[in-house]
Amino acid sequence: MKKLQKGALSPEFKQELQNWYNKDKGKDTENDLINMLREVL
What does the pLDDT look like over 1-41, one tens digit per residue?
A: 455 556 788 899 999 989 888 888 889 889 999 999 999 98
The pLDDT score that the predictor gives to residue 21 is 85
Q: Give the pLDDT of residue 1.
A: 47
Q: What is the pTM of this model?
A: 0.48
Answer for the pair 31, 39: CB distance below 8 angstroms, yes or no.
Answer: no
The sign of the dihedral angle between the CA atoms of 13, 14, 18, 21 is positive
C-alpha pair distances (Å), 33 with each of 7, 24, 30, 38, 41: 26, 15, 5, 9, 12
